Homo-oligomer: A and B are copies of this chain.
Amino acid sequence: MSERVEIVSIGNELLIGKTLNTNSHWLARSLVSLGLSVDRITVVRDNVAEIAEALREAMQRSPNFIITTGGLGPTFDDMTLSGLAQALNSCLQLNKKALKMIQEKYVEIASELGCETLELTPPREKMAVIPEGAEPLPNPVGTAPAVTIKWKTVTIFALPGVPQEMKAIFEDSLLDPLRKAIGDRARFEASLHVSGVMESEMAPLIEEVMHANPLVYIKSHPKGSENNPVLELHLSTTAKNIATAKTLVGRTLVQLSAVVEGAGGKTRTGTIPSAGS
């Protein structure tokens, strides 16, 4: 069993179709290639009650980790930490460590701008107001610190929505605890491009191979149409080490190629670089 993660993406721009949710895509890809399993992605708007509701629901499903993105900035519509506090039934308080991180950032910015000092206005101070018991995580790129807090067996990380800030904090502060949680399991994946066999003909053949290889997940992605069929079969597994994972996927690839060729189709293999340890 993999460690389970839920992602909660916060921001009106995601629900009006203004911004494509590339953050959850990047996070899912990174988490899965580390060997974790992403169970659900939930997108909610900038609204304290709706954020709290989505977080509470996710917490009740007891994943190992919940990662939120968005809503940590200085503006009135950055509401993630209020929603998190409400979900945890805790209070928001000014965190001294977070305040220090923000102060240092504005000293840095002032010196870059050649200004004497940049006042710690209420919107700037707001970024240091986090749920009681939470810890700030440094933001190497922007000003708003990320936040982490533990609830029962669930570790929650609240990351900013600006992609380069989110990625930098993920790499600086999340990789270690995530790797520690998954131990030494490794993931391997590969693709098989199939042409000349219809998806509906492939379905029972894939099922057969999957039943013979229960540890390998096979997913078919139609790329052409039923009368000009091109299929991509995506194979993946997580195992206790990379050698085992490669063996499992390799054996399944060989069997799949055989049934495709038996059905009159052609195959081409594509290996996906593995990020497993």
Which residues of A are at the interface with B, using a C-beta cutoff of 8 A?
A: 12-22, 24-33, 37-46, 50, 54, 57, 73-77, 105-106, 109, 112-113, 121-124, 142-143, 162, 199-204, 206-207, 210, 217, 219-222, 225-227, 234, 236
Rounded to whole angstroms, the CA-CA distance of A207 and B126 in the bound complex is 15
Query: Shortest beta-carbon distance, A242 to chain B, in Å?
Result: 18
Query: Shortest beta-carbon distance, A268 to chain B, in Å?
Result: 18
- A-B CB contact pairs (8 Å), 29 listed: A13-B221, A13-B234, A15-B37, A16-B236, A17-B26, A17-B29, A17-B38, A18-B234, A20-B20, A20-B25, A21-B41, A24-B43, A39-B50, A40-B44, A40-B50, A40-B54, A57-B57, A73-B199, A74-B199, A75-B199, A75-B200, A75-B220, A76-B206, A106-B226, A109-B226, A122-B204, A123-B201, A142-B226, A143-B200
Cβ contact of A74, chosen from B19, B124, B200, B227, cutoff 8 A: B200
Chain B residues in 8 Å Cβ range of A43: 24, 40-42
Chain B residues in 8 Å Cβ range of A18: 29, 234
Copies of this subunit: 2
Rounded to whole angstroms, the CA-CA distance of A109 and B224 in the bound complex is 13
Cβ contact of A42, chosen from B27, B30, B40, B227, cutoff 8 A: B40
A-B complex: 5 closest residue pairs judged by Cβ atoms: A17-B29, A17-B28, A41-B43, A123-B203, A74-B200
B45–A39 touching, CB < 8 Å: yes
Query: Shortest beta-carbon distance, A27 to chain B, in Å?
Result: 7
